[in-house]
């Protein structure tokens, strides 16, 4: 007897309803922006959904479509310009459905060979673009935070092999992503922040000053983290200068390119990332600027064997896998069971080819520069820094944080855009993070106009 829940026939009408819903979601152009409700509002509208007898799929789907989905913001709306949005290609999102339907275990070659082969082609493609050797490799993890954690855990193992136990610290920019701080907390080590100055980028000199400061405070630097596109500004550190310092100090060099390293696929911008080829490890998030759905971070090591030594888990039931010499993705990060989450990007890259990616990325950068020029023309606005990639940061002269907040709330309430305030060294500003090829110059101008009122 099969259970009703697992009997394909009984799911026929539900399957149709789900595919119809997904199909309709794909048809939206643009999708509704929508917005959050409070827990009390959701409780009043939705109430309790988990019952002993079940609601039935139709009713549950209806609750999602009518109540829950509208209480989420569509990150692929062209007016979603906060944080770093996600604008998956149609092929990538469609293939996410296939991954869901396929029940592939992506942790080992034994179970997931075909999927792992395809994921590894994407990792090799990226490593090749950035100039790492063919022997490099890694794994798709859930996000940049976990990617940074895994890379820096390997770095710490390597440092400890050489020097034993020390009071370790990670050298990074004061504008590095907050996850570096979080990683240090989890690893029980420190961070030492290099000054980024007016430019927003660190290089050999500022990182060296930070390393000296760390040493005189009794800390031992164990890794340098370069940021290839800061989250707030899209500014790229001097990756070659940082590589040189890491070599001098004999320590690990990790490049956090969660958002910006995608930009190195643009031929005209490639030189700005020089030095990436010397990284011991890097990350780039397909869910940020490689047009893939949540959630995926490509994590690559120059010498993946070091990661394997750090992360292989040894339980009796895992020994058949550990005996093999094949590529087991679980060995290359702090994870075991895993979704083959690199497949949506693989399918999309295989479908469209790399050239279309390069031009879609370039289009985002061109739009960023175009709107930056428009901002510079307007006396009431001030560009905080010249953009390098696809993030544009600017101030409305005379506005306090509360003015930005009121304006931002109204933009969302009017369903025009989702643009949040941010700040630099305590001074408020706002920013456009442009990763969606559907975002238009006209929409951005409409948003600027709304600040002049
Ligand atoms: C977003 C971001 C991260 C964190 O990535 P998640 O996928 O959100 O965990 C790390 N570093 C940089 C530079 C980022 O922009």
Q: Which two tokens stand for residue 318?
A: 């895992």
Per-residue confidence (pLDDT) for residue 197, from 0 to 100:
96
Q: Are 299 and 333 in contact (CB under 8 A)?
A: yes
CA distance 218 to 189: 12
Distance from Cα 428 to the centre of ligand 1, integer Å: 22
Distance from Cα 231 to the centre of ligand 1, integer Å: 7
Q: pLDDT tens digits, residue range 375-425?
A: 999 999 999 999 999 999 999 999 999 999 999 999 999 999 999 999 999
Crossing angle between the packed helical segments 401-413 and 441-452, to the nearest 10 degrees:
130
Q: Which of 84, 288, 292, 333, when mutated, tests ligand 1's pocket best, judged by the most ligand atoms within 8 Å of its CB?
A: 288
Is residue 11 pLDDT above 70, yes or no? no
3-state secondary structure of 244: helix
Q: pLDDT tens digits, residue range 207-266?
A: 999 999 999 999 999 999 999 999 999 999 999 999 999 999 999 999 999 999 999 999
Q: Give 384's DSSP letter.
A: S
Q: pLDDT tens digits, residue range 42-66?
A: 999 999 999 999 999 999 999 999 9
Is residue 446 pLDDT above 80, yes or no? yes
Per-residue confidence (pLDDT) for residue 143, from 0 to 100:
98
CA distance 261 to 280: 15
CA distance 450 to 399: 13
CA distance 114 to 121: 11
Per-residue confidence (pLDDT) for residue 316, from 0 to 100:
82
Question: Quick one: which H or E segment has residue 133?
Answer: none
- Computed over every residue of the chain, the mean pLDDT equals 96
For the chain, give the percent of residues with pLDDT over 70: 99
> What fold, for 354-451?
3.90.1150
Using 50, 70 and 90 to split pLDDT, how confident is the model at 12? confident
Nearest ligand 1 atom to alpha carbon 230: 13
Per-residue confidence (pLDDT) for residue 218, from 0 to 100:
98
For the chain, give the percent of residues with pLDDT over 90: 94
For 255-318, the DSSP string reads: EE-TTGGGGGGSGGGGGGGTTGGG-SEEEE-HHHHSS--SS-EEEEESSHHHHHHHH----GGG
Distance from Cα 294 to the centre of ligand 1, integer Å: 12
Per-residue confidence (pLDDT) for residue 65, from 0 to 100:
98
Per-residue confidence (pLDDT) for residue 1, from 0 to 100:
52
Nearest ligand 1 atom to alpha carbon 297: 7
Q: Which of 180, 234, 256, when mutated, tests ligand 1's pocket best, judged by the most ligand atoms within 8 Å of its CB?
A: 256
Whose CA is closest to atom 5 on ligand 1? 144
Lowest mean pLDDT among 34-43, 116-125, 175-184, 315-324: 315-324
Whose CA is closest to atom 14 on ligand 1? 258
What are the backbone dihedrals phi and psi of residue 216, each rounded to the nearest 5 degrees, phi first? -75, -15
96-352 and 354-451: same fold? no
CA distance 305 to 328: 11
Mean pLDDT within 157-186: 98
CATH architecture type of domain 96-352: 3-Layer(aba) Sandwich (3.40)
CA distance 329 to 298: 12
Q: pLDDT tens digits, residue range 277-329?
A: 999 999 999 999 999 999 999 999 999 999 999 999 888 887 887 777 899 99
Q: How many CB atoms lie within 10 A of CB 324?
A: 12
Whose CA is closest to atom 15 on ligand 1? 231
Per-residue confidence (pLDDT) for residue 382, from 0 to 100:
98
Domain boundaries, the chain: 3-74, 96-352, 354-451
Whose CA is closest to atom 4 on ligand 1? 144
Whose CA is closest to atom 7 on ligand 1? 143
27-48 burial: b if 16+ Cβ within 10 Å, else e? eeeebebbeebeeeeeeeeeee
Nearest ligand 1 atom to alpha carbon 231: 15
Q: How many CB atoms lie within 10 A of CB 133?
A: 11
Q: Which of 83, 258, 345, when mutated, tests ligand 1's pocket best, judged by the most ligand atoms within 8 Å of its CB?
A: 258
Per-residue confidence (pLDDT) for residue 115, from 0 to 100:
98
Using 50, 70 and 90 to split pLDDT, how confident is the model at 10? low
Nearest ligand 1 atom to alpha carbon 259: 15
Distance from Cα 97 to the centre of ligand 1, integer Å: 24
């Amino acid at each position: 007897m099969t259970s009703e829940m697992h009997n394909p026939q009984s799911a026929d009408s539900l399957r149709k309803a789900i595919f119809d819903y997904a199909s309709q979601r794909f048809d939206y152009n643009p999708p509704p922006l929508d917005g959050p409700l409070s827990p009390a509002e959701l409780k009043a509208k939705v109430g309790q959904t988990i019952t002993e007898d079940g609601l039935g799929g139709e009713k549950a789907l209806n609750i999602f479509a009518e109540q829950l989905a509208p209480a989420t913001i569509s990150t692929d709306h062209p007016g979603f310009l906060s944080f770093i949005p996600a604008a998956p290609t149609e092929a990538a999102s469609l293939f996410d459905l296939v991954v869901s339907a396929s029940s592939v275990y992506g942790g080992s070659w034994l179970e997931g060979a075909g999927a792992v082969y395809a994921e590894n082609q994407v990792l090799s493609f990226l490593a090749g673009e950035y100039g790492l050797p063919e022997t490099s490799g890694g794994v798709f993890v859930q996000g940049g935070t976990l990617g940074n954690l895994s890379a820096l855990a390997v770095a710490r193992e390597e440092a400890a092999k050489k020097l034993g136990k020390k009071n370790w610290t990670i050298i990074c920019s004061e504008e590095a992503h907050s996850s570096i701080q979080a990683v240090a907390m989890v690893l029980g080590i420190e961070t030492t922040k290099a000054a980024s100055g007016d430019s927003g980028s660190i290089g050999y000199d500022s990182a060296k000053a930070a390393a000296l400061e760390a040493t005189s405070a009794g800390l031992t630097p164990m890794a340098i983290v370069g940021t290839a596109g800061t989250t707030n500004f899209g500014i790229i550190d001097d990756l070659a200068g940082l590589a040189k310092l890491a070599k001098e100090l004999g320590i690990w060099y990790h490049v956090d390119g969660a958002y910006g390293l995608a930009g190195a696929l643009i031929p005209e911008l490639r030189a700005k990332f020089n030095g990436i080829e010397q990284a011991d490890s890097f990350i780039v998030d397909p869910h940020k600027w490689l047009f893939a759905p949540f959630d995926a971070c490509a994590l690559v090591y120059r010498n993946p064997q070091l990661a394997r030594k750090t992360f292989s888990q040894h339980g009796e039931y895992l020994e058949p896998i550990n005996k093999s010499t094949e590529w087991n993705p679980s060995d290359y990060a702090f994870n075991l069971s895993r979704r083959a989450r690199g497949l949506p990007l693989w399918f999309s890259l295989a479908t469209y080819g790399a050239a279309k990616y390069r031009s879609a990325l370039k289009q985002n950068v061109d739009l960023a520069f175009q709107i930056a020029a428009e901002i510079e023309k307007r006396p009431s606005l001030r560009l905080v820094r010249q953009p390098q990639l696809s993030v544009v940061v600017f101030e409305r002269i005379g506005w306090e944080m509360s003015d930005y907040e009121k304006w931002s709330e109204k933009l969302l309430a009017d369903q025009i855009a989702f643009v949040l305030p941010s700040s630099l060294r305590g001074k408020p500003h706002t920013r456009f993070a442009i990763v969606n090829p559907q975002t238009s110059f006209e929409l951005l101008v409409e948003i600027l106009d709304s600040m002049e009122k």
